[in-house]
Structure 1
Amino acid sequence: MAKYPIIVCDDDKDLASQLAEDINSSIQDLTDDNESYGKLKEQVTFVANNFAQTVGYIVANDVKNGIYFLDIELSQKSKDKNGVDLAEFIKKQDENAQIIFVTAYDKYAPLTYRRRIGAIDYISKSLSSSKIIQRIGETLRNAFDNLSNNLKFGKRDFTYKVGRRVCKMAEDDILFIEHSDVQHKVHMVTENGEVEYKGNISQIDKSAPFLVKVSQSYLVNPSNIIAIDSKEHAIIFDEDKMVTYSRAYKNVVKKFIAEFKNIEVM
């Protein structure tokens, strides 16, 4: 199997085949135009037209480190599994999965944010053919870089102390760290809970490059941001988890929007 399997799933067979062709062409362009990608031998591995076909292939072949181009609406029947359901299944099977949604239904975008799929891009079928191909090239480059870094460095842990006990938390699970109401402590909010420990924002800012300062009180993990409300100066991680950024850091927030294509701008 390819080092980075590429799987396409769209219920429209013609569109699925066209997307596969566009992906293969984009990879060829990438290898031709950039020496750093010259050794890539990847091509679309499997084209599916529904949830069951995709799941069957992934399980039978134990797919890991894959790149997945998924339509969100895989059936006209509302009770059937959709692309977001498929993405959730994929994430459980392939922790390094690079999810790209390619769909005509922009109304489903908020659903992917609420369910914290962690898609690296969201491409609308309403774009022109040339624009879609451009976006495919951009997102493939991002996906290959992400996978290469994951394989090279693995998942990294953030280390902190609670009393005398040394604790570790996967960097990917951390949403943000803020000043605590308790003096000389900080409050860390993660995907699975919250913890307070002795520390200060300035020291953590220097020692944890995956976190970015957005005010004197907050450090955020930009890879876990699902939306940014520029009017309210709010950074949103979940329906009930958000922080505010100060005006002095508005350019930092703009960089988040430019770099992380899955962030919704409100």
Structure 2
Amino acid sequence: MSYPIIMCEDNQIQLQQLDTLVENYILFHSDLFKVELTASKPQQVIDYLDQSEPQNGIYFLDIDLKAEIDGIQLAAIIRKKDVQAEIIFVTTHDELAPLTLKRKVAALDFIEKDQPLEDYRQEIYDTLDYAKQIIDETRTVQKKGFSFEVGSQVYNLDKSEVIFLEASDIPHRLNLDSTNGKFEFYGKLTELEKKYPFLFRISRSCLINPENIHHVDFSIREIGFSDGTTQKFSIGKSKKLKNIIQETL
């Protein structure tokens, strides 16, 4: 699996330079990443997010995009649509760094554009090295499985045992359907979606583990699972669901 790299810079010369440096990094350092979009306008990035629904993207953003929204506002949109995104600001406005904390966009790094090319290149490469380290560590955590608490007891399941989670009729509680049985515990789907990227949201009230899909009927928007249960999915999830099935096979 490769992780998408998306760049947004209004200056075409600087955008081309950044693209060249990143492509060279990929060529000589890692096949973990793939440049998916080089954009000069923030709307191009928003359209990409809506159409491709990327996960774990690496985003290089200028702050002053000379558009209707700036890079920090764009980062906030990215964070909502790609919750595990790594956001890197490449800018001459590093004095705006505190504003990203206020906006809660959690930038991975700020890289100053106005510096010698060799230093600029090295900062980009160091940041991509760090992003790769984070991804590798995240993968290790994901392999450990899924944990939850029922009362004073903590359960640790292998992720392959998780079939789906759905909102309970009781407020603030979730129902877990697993290969080891059914459980109910306190939790929030949004928090689990962020903590366990292997889970995929098929509707406002349900997260699934694609590994346990048995079949999908797109005509009635229904997923059948390995234990015989079924769940309906939202029409807007059809394209992403097809992509996930292809990746899982």
Q: Percent identity?
A: 32
Aligned equivalent of 1:44: 35
1:71 corresponds to 2:62:
yes
Distance verdict in 2 for CA 1:74–1:167, change over 3 Å: farther
Give the AA of the match of 2:28: D
Aligned equivalent of 2:201: none
Deviation at 1:5, TM superposition (A): 0.3
Give the AA of the match of 2:76: E
Which residue of 39, 42, 55 corresponds with 2:46? 55
Which residue of 78, 84, 94 corresponds with 1:90? 78
CA contact (8 A) 1:30 1:137 kept: no
Give the AA of the match of 1:121: D
Any runs of at least 4 consecutive aligned residues in structure 1 with deviations exceeding 4 A, and if so which? 155-161, 164-168
Distance 1:166 1:112 in 2: 38
1:14 corresponds to 2:9:
no
CA contact (8 A) 1:73 1:83 kept: yes
1:115 corresponds to 2:114:
no
Deviation at 1:29, TM superposition (A): 3.1
Distance 2:146 2:131 in 1: 22
Distance 2:95 2:140 in 1: 37
Aligned equivalent of 1:137: 125
Which runs of 5 or more residues in structure 1 are unaligned?
A: 32-39, 169-266
Which runs of 5 or more residues in structure 2 are unaligned?
A: 156-249
CA contact (8 A) 1:3 1:65 kept: no
Question: Aligned Cα RMSD in Å?
Answer: 2.6
Aligned equivalent of 1:24: 23
CA contact (8 A) 2:4 2:57 kept: yes
Distance 2:146 2:103 in 1: 24
Distance 2:113 2:146 in 1: 38
Give the AA of the match of 1:6: I
Give the AA of the match of 2:16: S
Give the AA of the match of 2:85: A
Distance verdict in 2 for CA 1:134–1:156, change over 3 Å: farther
**SS at the partner of 1:27?**
helix
Give the AA of the match of 1:115: R
1:147-176 per-residue CA deviation (whole Å, 9 max, x = no partner) reads 233244239999889xx66799xxxxxxxx
Give the AA of the match of 1:109: A
Distance verdict in 2 for CA 1:59–1:148, change over 3 Å: farther
Distance 2:140 2:147 in 1: 18
User: Where do residues 238-249 of structure 1 align in structure 2 (5 Å cutoff)?
Assistant: none
CA contact (8 A) 1:67 1:99 kept: yes
1:103 corresponds to 2:91:
yes
Aligned equivalent of 2:112: 124
**SS at the partner of 1:99?**
strand
Deviation at 1:104, TM superposition (A): 1.1
Distance 1:83 1:110 in 2: 14
- TM-score scaled by length of structure 2: 0.55
1:2-21 per-residue CA deviation (whole Å, 9 max, x = no partner) reads 62000000011121111011
1:35-62 per-residue CA deviation (whole Å, 9 max, x = no partner) reads xxxxx25332110011101110121111
